[in-house]
Amino acid sequence: MSPPLAPPGWSRWLVPPAALAVHLSIGQAYAWSVFKPPLESALHLDGTQSALPFQLAIVMLGLSAAFGGTLVERNGPRWAMTVALVCFSSGFLISALGAQTQQYWLIVLGYGFVGGIGLGIGYISPVSTLIKWFPDRPGMATGIAIMGFGGGALIASPWSAQMLSSFGTGHSGIALAFLVHGLSYAVFMTLGVFLVRVPRGDTPGAGASGPSSVAGVQVSANSALRTPQFWLLWVVLCTNVTAGIGILEKAAPMITDFFADSSTPVSASAAAGFVALLSAANMAGRIGWSSASDRIGRKNIYRCYLGVGALMYLLIALFGDSAKPLFVLCALVILSFYGGGFATVPAYLKDLFGTHQVGAIHGRLLTAWSTAGVLGPLIVNWIADRQKEAGKHGPALYGLSFGIMIGLLVVGFVANELVRPVHTRHHIPAQREAADAQRQQPA
């Protein structure tokens, strides 16, 4: 499939909704927990088993983004969005069959394996195209799309819960809910497939370079892996995401524990409100901080994420239990940096490696997310459990975790400081780039 070139007069403002149609859909993954209790009671599963489809989906997200990135670059965003649509929707349809026949392995295979491939390909599908349409504002453009991934869970969580309460939480009700999800997401994502276009060379905006990009730099995905810049950014993303997950993973019990002995303890519903507020900060950070990076530069914004992030953790550790507003404010800032870190990284990659295969390079960098997804919860949960065994309670349960998070953020800060422009030996020769561009033109 050749990349869909934009006809004359095609507006670049049609591309962000195309990207959002995909990201708002695949962001449903973070609302999987809605299906867990009904599945556990209908199919007699324990908590570990009911988490399997989500865990496999996240693993497949990382793998398909890492290994499918080059294919996405070669075949273009419409191909990628079609693959994402087919895989993500089929995943739900296979799961519907699994729930109806009470064959749980079909749900794991459908939602986890097939749907997970849709997540990975869908996540990276619009990145390169958005950067090419918005070379003057790549941070804002990718921020809109990646905000959609956060927004997907906000939509799916109440929607899925409403559906289950209407259809029932037995295996037939779950099957019907999966079926409706599969069909609805297929229709919703079709907008992205129809609207996405690759800019022509003469399209306004295309070809201009952003304020912080190094003009003319183009590095292939394979060469990027051999540069220190890629691995330094890998460390930056991994530490920033780990720090965010450190709060996100145990947000509700954390705020409850911090103020358990105070005159104003936090109720369960207030803790749920705190978690919701963190989701809002995460989403706002994706679009807000990423857009700001277009003005103040990518390196500076990561200095802020990592440096101020470490300071926020320090404030929580030292004074968090003395004032609830301070605790909430610091946590919100950390979560906004977590979202901002995700959304800004494609533009940082574009600055360093150019637009040639930025989607594929981004896909490979997402292995840092998978690593952080394991590391963050492991640190916070393991340490909190050990501290509890040692008889500690309240804020003391988290002190050591916060210390580790501060250390990780400092490591990320140093890695960001070490990022320099990519050496010219990794650049693609101009002739080869021109030949590639010629090959991508339709006959």
Partner 1 sequence: MPSASSPPSRRGLIALAWLWVGAPLAYGVYELVQKATQLFTG
- Contact residues: partner 1, CB under 8 A: 7-11, 13-14, 17-18, 20-21, 24, 148, 151, 154-155, 157-159, 188, 191, 195, 267-270, 272-274, 276-277, 279-280, 328
Cβ proximity to partner 1: between 81 and 217 the closer is 81
Cβ proximity to partner 1: between 280 and 296 the closer is 280
d(CA 267, CA 264): 9
Cβ proximity to partner 1: between 70 and 336 the closer is 336
Output the smallest distance, CB 335 to partner 1, in A.
13
Output the smallest distance, CB 15 to partner 1, in A.
9
Is 316:254 a contact under the CB 8 Å cutoff?
A: no
Cβ proximity to partner 1: between 97 and 161 the closer is 161
- Say which amino acid occupies 201: G
d(CA 121, CA 116): 9
Output the smallest distance, CB 93 to partner 1, in A.
21
Cβ proximity to partner 1: between 158 and 216 the closer is 158
Mention every residue, 6+ apart, whose C-beta is less than 8 A from residue 186: 85, 89
Cβ proximity to partner 1: between 303 and 324 the closer is 324
d(CA 150, CA 368): 18
d(CA 101, CA 97): 6
Output the smallest distance, CB 17 to partner 1, in A.
4
Between the alpha carbon of residue 343 and those of residues 83, 138, 288, 434, 440, the distances in Å are 23, 10, 10, 30, 28
Between the alpha carbon of residue 127 and those of residues 18, 122, 133, 175, the distances in Å are 11, 10, 10, 33
- Say which amino acid occupies 164: L
Output the smallest distance, CB 110 to partner 1, in A.
23
Cβ proximity to partner 1: between 189 and 352 the closer is 189
Output the smallest distance, CB 21 to partner 1, in A.
6
3-state secondary structure of 202: coil
Output the smallest distance, CB 136 to partner 1, in A.
19
Residue (of 212, 406, 235, 229) closest to 292 by Cα position = 212
Cβ proximity to partner 1: between 269 and 431 the closer is 269
Q: How far from each other are the two terminal CA atoms of the chain, in whole angstroms? A: 12
Kindly report the number of other CB atoms within 10 A of residue 49's CB atom.
15
By CB atoms closer than 10 A (0-12, 13-18, 19+), residue 264 is exposed
Output the smallest distance, CB 293 to partner 1, in A.
22
Output the smallest distance, CB 28 to partner 1, in A.
11
Cβ proximity to partner 1: between 13 and 390 the closer is 13
Output the smallest distance, CB 1 to partner 1, in A.
22
| Token pair belonging to 62 | 């990382």
Is 141:350 a contact under the CB 8 Å cutoff?
A: no
Cβ proximity to partner 1: between 235 and 328 the closer is 328
Is 320:259 a contact under the CB 8 Å cutoff?
A: no
Output the smallest distance, CB 279 to partner 1, in A.
6
Mention every residue, 6+ apart, whose C-beta is less than 8 A from residue 84: 22, 26, 118, 119, 121, 122, 125, 189
Cβ proximity to partner 1: between 11 and 441 the closer is 11
By CB atoms closer than 10 A (0-12, 13-18, 19+), residue 51 is middle
Enclosing H/E stretch for 336: helix 324-353
